């Protein structure tokens, strides 16, 4: 999976990444092996083991209704827990189908459970004392609410929130490659994914001009339309309200002085005139004080910010409240290493626009993109769904009786 790139068919990418997490979870005997130390004191051995929490829950978003649950319940179950899944009320069908497949495969009743509903269902899970841990993926305001509520009720919680992912485009970048990568990263899945690249930070006007010119030309062939037409690059956004929200951000950028280079506010899709479509949109001359820059748009909109140096670009990224993903396009290894070592973001790409970790690493951002100490899936997933128990054991030699001890036994 080294050098993994986004697929041209997002639904297959979603399933493939989910399947990879299932395959990783199949290594549970290796992942759950404890640690053993012999003779930590006189005839004393010590070891740690990882035991299940009990009943755990997951609350998942609409945009990846198969993949995100597959981040959670396979690892939770192989670690010995029972799992309750609350999928998005907007598209629960795939989750119910997966639960049906698990039942057909022979998973005992009660190990995997699906609860449909909205905030009432969420609050029930957060307040039920039988549930020991909660995993969540969604927007930052809801992530923060879930994290605070779960913690107030004594539950372990990992809550993954929103993002504003930046790509630095250096003057030495392979501009044609950067444009091709940004097309998929900004507009794939209609921009409705937490790893979407929504801001291109161009270093120097020459790089910015070249980027905007090439992006504008490349975007002429972008097609938005119904999911049933395979030639389309992406489809509608999730609801009419969200369509209006995305268009509102474009309006806001224009009103605050940005330049709309490619306008996707009124796409014409024959036969689907009332669909929730937003076309690919390119906005230049965006500045950090603009509302459209500060907030997560979650739509097919790429904004271009112009800066004078790489350090200025990094300072811009570090100053943002979100720290989910970022990348740099460059041919300079020294610049790339400095960027990856020093940027304050959880997932970093070097000429890779969607640096989504493979299943045997863990997924999660920094700052207000993640609430909790442990990231999703991978090694952190094992630790999240288990609790460590350390055992210290001594078997005295036959006929030998130890005297009173006034210090820790292992200190003798």
CATH number of the domain encompassing residue 95: 3.40.605.10
Model-level pTM?
0.91
Residues 127, 20 within the same domain? yes
Phi then psi for residue 324, to 5 deg, are: -80, -70
Active site residues: 194
Residues 133, 185 within the same domain? no
User: Residue 90: helix, strand or coil by DSSP?
Assistant: coil
The C-alpha atoms of residue 292 and residue 244 are separated, in whole angstroms, by 14
Residues 182, 52 within the same domain? no
In terms of phi and psi (left: phi > 0; alpha: psi -120 to 50; beta: otherwise), the region of 87 is beta
Taking the CA atoms of residue 130, residue 132, residue 137 and residue 140 in that order, the dihedral angle to the nearest 10 degrees is 100
| Residue 296 covered by a domain | yes
Pair 40, 408: CB distance under 8 Å:
no
Rounded average pLDDT per 10-residue block, the chain, 412 residues: 42 82 94 93 92 98 95 97 97 94 96 96 97 97 98 97 97 97 96 96 98 98 90 95 98 98 95 94 98 97 98 98 98 98 98 94 96 96 96 81 69 64
Within 263-309, strands assigned E span: 281-284, 301-307
The C-alpha atoms of residue 304 and residue 214 are separated, in whole angstroms, by 13
| Residue 356 covered by a domain | no
Rg of the chain on CA atoms, in Å: 24
| Residue 358 covered by a domain | no
Report the pLDDT value the prediction gives residue 12, as an integer from 0 to 100. Answer: 63
The C-alpha atoms of residue 367 and residue 365 are separated, in whole angstroms, by 7
Please tell me the total count of domains within the chain.
Answer: 2
Question: Domain range spanning residue 182?
Answer: 165-350
Through-space distance between the first and last CA atoms of the chain, rounded to whole angstroms: 50
Residues 177, 106 within the same domain? no
User: Chain-centre distance of CA 291, in angstroms?
Assistant: 23
Residues 144, 194 within the same domain? no
Residues 60, 156 within the same domain? yes
Q: What is the pLDDT of residues 333-388, one digit of tens each?
A: 999 999 999 999 999 999 999 999 999 999 999 999 999 999 999 999 999 999 99
Check which CATH number belongs to the domain holding 224 and give it.
3.40.309.10
Residues 106, 38 within the same domain? yes
Nearest CA to 212 out of 306, 126, 124 is that of 306
Residues 123, 201 within the same domain? no
Residues 153, 172 within the same domain? no
Residues 373, 345 within the same domain? no
In our burial notation (b when 16+ CB lie closer than 10 A, e otherwise), range 276-294 reads: bbbbbbbbbbbeeebebbe
């Amino acid at each position: 999976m080294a050098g993994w790139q986004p697929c041209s068919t997002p639904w297959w990418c979603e399933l493939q990444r989910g399947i990879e997490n299932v395959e990783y979870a199949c290594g549970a005997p290796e992942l759950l092996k404890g640690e053993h130390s012999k003779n930590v004191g006189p005839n004393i051995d010590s070891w740690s083991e990882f035991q299940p929490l009990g009943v755990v829950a997951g609350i998942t978003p609409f945009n990846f209704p198969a993949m995100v649950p597959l981040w959670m319940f396979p690892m939770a179950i192989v670690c010995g827990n029972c799992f309750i899944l609350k999928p998005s009320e907007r598209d629960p069908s795939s989750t119910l189908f997966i639960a049906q497949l698990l039942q057909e495969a022979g998973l005992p009743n009660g190990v995997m459970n699906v609860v449909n509903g909205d905030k009432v269902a969420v609050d029930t899970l957060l307040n039920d004392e039988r549930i020991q841990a909660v995993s969540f993926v969604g927007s930052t305001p809801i992530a923060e609410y879930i994290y605070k509520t779960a913690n107030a009720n004594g539950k372990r919680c990992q809550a993954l929130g929103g993002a504003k992912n930046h790509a630095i485009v250096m003057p030495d970048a392979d501009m044609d490659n950067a444009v091709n990568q940004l097309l998929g990263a900004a507009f794939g899945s209609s921009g409705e994914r937490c790893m979407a690249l929504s801001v291109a930070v161009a270093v120097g006007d020459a790089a910015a001009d070249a980027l905007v010119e090439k992006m504008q030309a490349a975007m002429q062939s972008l097609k938005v339309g119904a999911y049933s037409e395979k030639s389309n690059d992406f489809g509608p956004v999730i609801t009419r309200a969200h369509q209006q929200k995305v268009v509102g951000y474009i309006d806001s950028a224009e009103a605050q002085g940005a330049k709309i280079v490619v306008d996707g506010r009124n796409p014409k899709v024959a036969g689907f005139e009332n669909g929730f479509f937003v076309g690919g949109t390119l906005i230049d001359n965006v500045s950090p004080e603009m509302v459209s820059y500060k907030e997560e748009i979650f739509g097919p909109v790429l904004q271009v910010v112009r800066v004078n140096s790489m350090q200025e670009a990094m300072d811009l990224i570090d100053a943002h409240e979100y720290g989910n993903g970022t990348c740099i396009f460059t041919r300079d290894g020294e610049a790339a290493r400095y960027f990856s070592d020093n940027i304050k973001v959880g997932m970093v790409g070097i000429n890779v626009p969607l640096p989504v970790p493979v299943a045997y690493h863990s997924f999660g951002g920094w700052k207000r993109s993640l609430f909790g100490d442990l990231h999703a899936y991978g090694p952190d997933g094992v630790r999240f769904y288990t609790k460590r128990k350390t055992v210290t054991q001594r078997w005295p030699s036959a006929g030998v009786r130890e005297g009173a001890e006034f210090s820790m036994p292992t200190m003798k």
